[in-house]
Amino acid sequence: MMLNVSVALLCAFLLLVAVYVVVARSVLAAIISMGVFSMLVTAVFVVLRAPDVAVTEAVIGAGLITAFFVIALDKTSEQ
């Protein structure tokens, strides 16, 4: 029961962050919240007893890809 409630809270937060990614005014904010989103997904993976996927998602999704996004945003907003 406790697990269900906490998972529900996690999912609600996940959805909220996802909506923010889509509607956020600034692209940088969207990218940062995408990082948060990835961390939340990682948490869900841990709950689902998939530590291998969670590790990969944390490294690639939350770390590497966020870095890519920031670099790309930097390169497309000079001047």
Partner 1 sequence: MEAILATTAFALTAIGLYGLLTCRHMIRLVLCFNILEAAVLLAIVLLAYRPEALAPLVRDGEHAYVFPLPHALAVTAIVIGASLTALMLAFIVRIYKSRGTVYIDELKEWRR
- For helices 27-47 and 65-76, give the axis angle rounded to 10 degrees: 170
Binding mask 29-48 for partner 1 (x = CB under 8 A): -xx--x--xx--x--xx--x
Interactions with partner 1, residue window 46-65 (CB under 8 A): 48-53, 56-57, 60-61, 64-65
Contact indicator for 40, 48 with CB cutoff of 8 Å: no
DSSP letters for 45-61? HHHTT-HHHHHHIIIII
Give the CA diameter of the chain: 54
Residues that bind partner 1 (CB under 8 A): 3-4, 7-8, 11, 14-15, 18-19, 21-22, 27, 30-31, 34, 37-38, 41, 44-45, 48-53, 56-57, 60-61, 64-65, 68-69, 71-73, 75-77
